[in-house]
Structure formats: C-alpha cells, structure tokens
Structure 1
C-alpha cells in the first residue's frame, strides 16, 4: 500500500488508509468525515479506558487483593510500556507492511485491550465456576484479574502513540490541528459512555433484571541508536515531555483512585466488608456516584474541546496549557479539602479541562515543532527540497506517550504505599500538588511556536 507512482518523490494520497508518506510534500486537505472516522478509534479506546478507571480498583478490592499489592498492579504495565513504547514507535516509523506503517500495531493493541478487559471484568466469575476450593479460587481470581488489568492497561496506553502518529503521517498541518480537536471531542464522548455504564444502577432497571446481576444477594533502528536519539532529544522536546509527565502524574493520581475515594472517603463505605453488608452497599453506592462524576468529566471534556479552537486564538497554546493544569490543580485541591458529594461532582468539570488539554496541546506542539524543523531544512536545502532525514513523528509521539507509562510507574510505586497508610484522600491532594508544579513548569520552560 502507498507505493510511489510515477517519478520518484511524487505520491498520491487517496484516504486515511495511506499512512506511509515517504516524501516531504504536504498531504492534501482531508474530508471531515475521514478525520471523524479516525477519531472513532479514540472514542473506542476511551470508552474502554473509562470502564477500567471506574471499575478496576473496586474490582480488585472485591476479589480480595490486599492493599499492599496495589503497587504491583499499577507498576507492571507502565514499566513494560515505558521500555517498549519508543522501540515500537521507531519500528512503526520504518515499517513497510502492506497494511501501512501504523495499522498493524493498532489492530494488535486493540485485540490485547479486548482480551485484557474480558479477563479483569469476568475473571473472578470464570474462576468461581471452575474451581471449588475457596483458597485456590481466591488466588486464581486475583491472578486472572491482575493479568487482565496489566494486559489492558499496557495496550490502552500503548495505542495512543500509533493513533497520533497515523494522523500526523497522512494529514496537512491544518488537518492535524482539526484531527487533534476531533480526538479530544470523541475522547470525551467515549469516556462519557464508559462512565455512564458504571453510574447506572442496572439492578433496578428492566434490562439489568433480564441480564442478571454480578452478586447473589527506513533502516531498522538499533536499540543503541534509539537510546542515543532519546538522550540527544532537542531541549524543547525534553521540556514538553517533562510537562506531559507532570500532567499525567497528576491526572492519573486522581482518576485511578477516584471511585474508591468516593466510596470510602465521601460515602464512608468499606470495600472489604461482606458483599451483602450495609458497609459494602454504601461503598458500591459511592462508586456509582463516582462514575457519575467521571461521566461529568468526560462530557465537559467534549464540551471544552469544542471551544478549544476558539480559545486558542485568544490565549494561545500556552494559555490553554497553563489553564488546564491550573483548573485541575485547584479543583482537586478543593475536593480533598471539602469531600462533599455535590461540590465534588461540580468540580469534576476541572478533570474534563485537564483531559482535553493532555490529549491536544502537547501533540499540537509536536506538530508545530516538526513543521518548524521542516521549514528550516527546506530553506537550508538546495532547491528548497528535503532529503527525508527529519525526526520520525512516530518516535516523537511514542516518547511523549511514554510519559503516560512513566507517570503510572510513579503513581503505582508511590500512591499504593500512601493509600495504604493514609487512605484514599491522599490521591486528590497529591494530584493537586503535582498539577500546580506542572502549571509553573508549562509557563516557564515549555517552548511555544507561533
């Protein structure tokens, strides 16, 4: 797919499927329908991600996972992703498959996501049906659920890089901006649908009664050259990665434990109580309300992303970046200080601002950096032509996405211990502090291109 036609250097772009632009010519303008179809991948990914964010902590606690093992669950997949993401990003830059450079990776990761989701949502039920001994059943239920979480989390984090690189490969600069805004919009839609599933009390709906309830009562890049590429990354790329790390550390600190925070801190429930006890039912109610809060986050993320393009003309990317971190830091700070149901739900709108910011602004800056580098090389090259030696967009997107895995490593390594010692309230306080530090960093150190 996507071979050269006619003279060397000429190319025909027919659809978003042609994801191998090997020459430096600007791709043609893409129809809105193509950009929307591409963004549907983000809708599906975020739908699954929302289900995970809402359910994973309650599911792990309900199957009997000790709090001391929190860290292991949240550390395994980000460590794997952090090590492998740049390698796969570079490999996709040089892939020559008939399907294109990015799509084989996207399809593989989608299959891994579905398998992982199936395991962590249904693993305990399958084990209960197959194993009679209570002790063995507990061990296997925890093991299968953990495997599902690790597999899903790895694939869901990993897939963002190839999807963004796919967009950058086949779109002009203007379409890249439009595509990223559509990504943020459909990310919000997907998250809304996912959190809505957890927010509805299905046991009291006719459909829930029918389905039943869960409880009774170019050349291959070597590793050496890849590491050299990462170490020698231009300073403005490195600063962007650090700011992205601050943002995702703050965001994940809050999102991964938010439903548990609602169940234990706001509603004063107990996830370790017997499943038919009042304490556990109160905890479940808190988790459901937490899902409504995350649903508000996703809906506001979509709404905010719709107005982002208008806002950027007034306050620029720097203003958008700064405002996203600032509002999130203030919102999570007030939630931690005043854990009231209604104020917490209202302040969930600040999560949506942060979510939309993280999914658009850093990648917009990557696109601007690449465009600036191409213009500089075009001016310096004889005849105004490029030699195709510019930085790989897949690698840069992968390195930026690596910050998500690194953030998970930090969150898993530190917060698992802190939650065990101080309770779930520590997560929103941590999120607020890290977001405010990131707010200062994006204002002072990130380079913005006009």
Structure 2
C-alpha cells in the first residue's frame, strides 16, 4: 500500500502526508499536556515521589537520630579524603605540566581562573538546589555523585592531555639554533654536553594538548572544590547537633590524611620503579593510583548512611527509631517512631517528640543510640513551598551581616592558602632549587626543577599531615580558648610561617614552615562551617548593639549557606589567577607567592576579629 501511495504521490507528496500526520499527533499531544514538556517532567516527578512514599515511609532512619561513633564519622567523611587525593595531584602537577607543554607563567595562572569563574556563581545555586532536591537517594548524595564523575574525568584528562593532543594532530616542531659563546656557556651550565654551536630545540607548544589539559584542569578543579559543599552538608544532615564539632573535626582529619598521602605519592620518584614505567611515567602513575583511591573513598561515603528524602520531611512522616539491641518488629509501635514534621523556617532546632524515657540521663551506648532527646540538625528543615528560585537567589545576595563578614574572612583565608597550594611546587623548583621548568630535558636546570617539584610534594605532604594532627585537637582548643582565639591565632601562625619561608628559601624551611599551612587548612575547614551550623542551630544571625541575640526566620538552608561560604575559594582563586602571574613577573621571583600568602593571612586575622561568635 505504501509503495502504491509513493508511486501515486511521489516523494514530495509522501513528505507532505508525513508532515500532516505528525502535526495532528503534536496537536493531540498538546491537548493532553497543556503545560508542555515542563508539565510532563512535573508529572513524572510527582509519580516518582508517590511511588517512593510507601516504601520510604517504612524504612528505618534511626541512624539519623543517634550519636555516631568515630568510625562511622570516618566513613561519612571518606569522600573528602578522596577529594583531597585528587586535589593533591592537581595542585602538585598541573602548574609544572602546563609550563612544560609551553604555557607561559602569566597564561598558566589565568588557567586557574576558569573554574573559579564558573564555580563562584554556580556553587551557591547548586547548594540551594541540593536543599530542595526531591530524589529518593537524598538531597546531597546525588550532587556528590555528579561532581565525582567530573573529578574522574579531570583525573583522566590532565595526565593524558598531551598524548591526546598528538592523537588530534599535534606535532613536534624542530628548530636549529646557532648559539653565541655566552649561550654555549649557559648550555654547559645547564648540563648539556653539546660541543657544536648548532643544536636542535623541540618546540614544546601543543595546541590540542593544551586544550585537553586545561579542560581536565577546569573539571578537576571545579568539581573537587564544589563537591566539598554537599559532602559537608551530608555529614551535618546525618548526624545530631551535638556531633557537629566532632564530625567537622573528623571531616578535616580525613581531608588532611588524604592530602598527606596524595602529596606523598607525588614525592616518590615513580620513574625509577617498574610500576611507573608500566603506567607511562611519574605523573601518570600518580594520577592512576589516585583515581582508584578516589573511587574507593567516594563509594564508602555514598554507601554509609541513608538520607531522609525531602518529600518525607515535607509530609512529616513518622520515622522509625528502633532499639538496635532488639529484633526489629514488622509492626513497630507508635512510641518507637519520631515525628520529623518539617518547619517552614530555617535556623530552628526542636526536641523530638515522645523520644525520651522517664530518666533523660539514662543512656546505653551499646544500643547504638542514646535514650535522650537529641536535637536534630536544622538542615532537615525544608524550604517553604512558595519560595521560588528567584526569591532564593535574592536571599543569597541579601545575606545577614554576620554571614557577610564570615565570607570576607574566608575569602582572605582562601586567597592566602591558594597562593601556597597552587604555586608552591613551582616556588620550590625555581626559588629553592634554582631550576627552570622550560630548560632542555636532561640538563641540570631541568633536573633541578624536577627535584624541586618532588621535594615540594613532600613539603605539602607535611602540611596535610599537620592539618590532620591539628584537627584532632582543634575541638578541645575551642572548648578551652574559645572559637575567636583559635580562629585568629590559626591565621597568624600561617602568616608567620609563610613570612619565614620567604626569607629563608631553604629546604629545611620548606618542610618546617609547611606545618603552619596545615594549621591554616584545618582552621579553614572547621571554623567557618562550625559557625554557620551554630547560627542555624540557634536561629541567630545578628546581635543588637547591646550584644543581645536576635532570633529570626531565614529562607536559606544550611546547604545553601555552606555553599556560599565555600564559594569564597572560587573567588579567591579567580582573583589570584588574574594577578599572581603579573606579580611573579614584576618581582622576578616566585618567592612573591609565599610573601603574598603571608600578607593575606594577616588581613584574614584582622577580619576574623569582627566575626560573630555568639557563645562559641
């Protein structure tokens, strides 16, 4: 029939018929779906939520309402260890890799501006989206998974960018040069055994290689930084309020250990090992090992504890709280459940109803929970249904002064730390070891630079170990000295260490003063987020001129505010990327990197004196 119709009408007539049929189907579809594609997705989401309600409401979420052991906090925080593994590889080798493939200093620093430019605007939006995520998996874990995929792609592209460039058409261009007598002396000093005035120099510039390496850098840098916000919010979501300080310190310890082991992997000379030869050299060996470690760490966190889905919190489901020492009943009693009815406002903390025995002091750690009313994290509160994304973004811009000054302080702190973390190995290779990243391979200058980069990795490994050690005691220091003294003294310690490193420029100083960077990093990872969680827990974001606390409703959720404070790392990196190359070029030495870090940390300490600490 179709053949006869085609013979009668021809191809043009058949096309007209096909078009008319499709138009009729489209009109019929529009009548059934007046809201269009958007309406279809809404229907699918509603259907998904409805299907999930029956199964989720019967799940046991008792783990959310009990204190966690240290081992459980370690597992929840494992993702940040994986993030720091990847971050260690990035900060240690991206700058030297870009310099080696022909990117100049001033252009190399601009590469670091790409991801923070994206992240500064996108991270707070992602934070607010995670607060409102309706997926059954939870609010934070979907974002952790998505950003982890970006990190994985970056870990693949950065070490293989140059080889991928060759596959896309990059070629080595050789040039003959006739050297003057002074130039011949320079070559000899560099370790070359050339006796002729004519030498062949390979052009190190690879357009496609640069593109893939930069793309991998942007993905790795943005996703590694952005992934920390949902990972931290996930930690605060699944632990009780009393565990916040202990949880954040554990989170920082895991970050420090991840950085320590990641930088230590970079400090090993893999070129001289069989594994290094098999994997294609030092850099590829480091990135390959870190890729597998990253996957393991993220998997541990994702599979640790279930989140309570937002649609359950919004409907005020009765969630089971079961005595883990007894067999689980198929029909739990009403008294064994917690009411987690969500409040519309942020910053409030409630005691759970009908959850305490007659004696509140009676607790049994062997049962896995305490038989006392536990304050839940405020991040379980849900956004008002009428709060649109526009209103949400407006609330981010019009933040309380307490959050604004905290963001300014965090900006100075991150600028000081980024100076160290992104450009430190280059500083050690050039200023301490006297090497040159663009020197001919095999020359003394090239070998000195390579040795300096590896030695710089050991210095950064010490800073990460220091971060882990200091994080073990920072909670006790806060209890003894108060949050204000701990915050300010941590920044001043780093400022002094970087100043001394700039003055000495010695191998011993690289190792010794890197420990002060660990104090700074631990402070960065703990203090701002402890304060934000404290603001939300008390519902206080400002005080009167007389020092009295003012309680008020806040539209933003904890995840949003954590993302806002975390986004300062992107702004800090963007600002430094725009000016650090010029500073190094004008000063004529990479020592300017640690000198600027010292000054910025000092400004951060001054700003920290104006932060609102409440009763911490």
- Could you say whether these structures have the same fold, taking a TM-score greater than 0.5 normalized by the shorter chain as the test? yes
8 Å CA contact 2:423–2:593 kept in 1: the answer is yes
Bigger shift: residues 400-409 or 223-232: 223-232
Structure 1 counterpart of 2:133, from 91, 95, 100: 95
Q: How does 1:58-73 map to 2 (within 5 A)?
A: 58-73=96-111
Cα deviations across residues 385-428 of structure 1 (Å, max 9, x unaligned)?
x9997640011011011111111111111112212332311111
**How many Å separate the matches in 2 of 1:267 and 1:47?**
26
Q: 1:137 to 1:417 in 2, by over 3 A?
A: closer
What's 1:53 paired with? 91
Pairwise CA distance, 1:232: 2.2
Corresponding residue to 1:355 among 521, 528, 537 = 521
Residue 270 of structure 2 corresponds to residue 202 of structure 1: yes
Question: Is 1:39 aligned to residue 77 of structure 2?
Answer: yes
- For 1:232-271, what aligned pairs fall within 5 Å after superposition? 232-271=398-437
Q: Which moved more, 1:327-336 or 1:69-78?
A: 69-78
SS at match of 2:392: helix
User: Which segment drifts farther, 224-233 or 187-196?
Assistant: 224-233
Instruction: Specify the alignment match of 2:208 in structure 1.
Output: 140
3-state SS in 1 of match to 2:583:
helix
Partner Cα separation in structure 1 for residue 390 and residue 541 of structure 2: 29
Larger fraction in helix: 1
Contact 1:269 1:279 (C-alpha < 8 Å) held by counterparts: yes
Q: Within 5 A, what are the aligned runs for 1:117-128?
A: 117-128=155-166
CA displacement at 1:294 relative to structure 2: 0.2
From 595, 599, 610, the equivalent of 1:444 is: 610
Counterpart of 1:86 in structure 2 is: 124
1:145-202: per-residue Cα shift (whole Å, max 9, x none)? 0111011111011111111111222221121211101111111110011101111112
Q: Which residue of the partner structure matches residue 175 of structure 1?
A: 243
Contact 1:123–1:144 (CA<8 Å) still a contact in 2?
A: yes
Tell me the CA shift for residue 239 of structure 1.
1.1
- DSSP-derived class of the 1:238 partner: helix
Gaps of 5+ in 2: 1-48, 174-203, 284-382, 543-550
- Given that residues 96 and 426 in structure 2 are in contact (C-alpha distance below 8 angstroms), is that contact kept between their aligned partners in structure 1? yes
The correspondence of residues 24-423 of structure 1 with structure 2, limited to 5 A, is: 27-129=65-167, 131=169, 133-134=171-172, 138-213=206-281, 218=383, 219=385, 222-373=388-539, 391-422=556-587, 423=589
Give the Å deviation of 1:137: 7.2
Q: What is the rounded CA distance, in whole Å, between the counterparts of 1:374 and 1:347 in structure 2?
A: 38
* CA RMSD after TM alignment: 2.7
- Which secondary structure state, in structure 2, belongs to the residue aligned with residue 444 of structure 1? coil
What is the Cα deviation at residue 211 of structure 1? 4.2
Distance 1:283 1:296, change over 3 A: same
Check if 1:434 corresponds to 2:600: yes
Residues 4 and 373 (structure 1 numbering): CA distance in 2 closer, same or farther, change over 3 Å?
farther
Q: 284-293 vs 305-314, which deviates more? A: 305-314
Shift in Å, 1:324: 1.2
CA contact (8 A) 1:254 1:427 kept: yes
Q: Which gives a bigger RCO, structure 1 or 2 (Cα 8 Å, sep 6+)? A: 1
What secondary structure does 1:87 align onto?
helix
What TM-score does the superposition give when structure 2 sets the normalisation length?
0.65
| Cα gap change, 1:128 to 1:137, in 2 (>3 Å) | farther
- Give aligned pairs, total: 427
Return the alpha-carbon distance in structure 1 between the equivalents of residues 217 and 275 of structure 2.
Answer: 27
> What is the rounded CA distance, in whole Å, between the counterparts of 2:279 and 2:560 in structure 1?
45
Do 2:403 and 2:541's aligned partners in 1 also have CA atoms closer than 8 Å? no
Matched, 1:13 2:70: no
TM-score, normalised relative to structure 1: 0.88
TM-superposed deviation, 1:223: 4.9
Distance 1:98 1:234 in 2: 32
Within 1, Cα distance between the matches of 2:505 and 2:541? 51
- 1:11 to 1:369, Cα distance in 2 relative to 1, 3 A: farther
CA change 1:104–1:173 in 2 (3 A) is same
Larger Rg: 2
Higher strand share: 2
For residues 444 and 436 of structure 1, what CA distance do their matches in structure 2 show? 14
Structure 2 Cα separation of the partners of residues 263 and 197 of structure 1 = 18
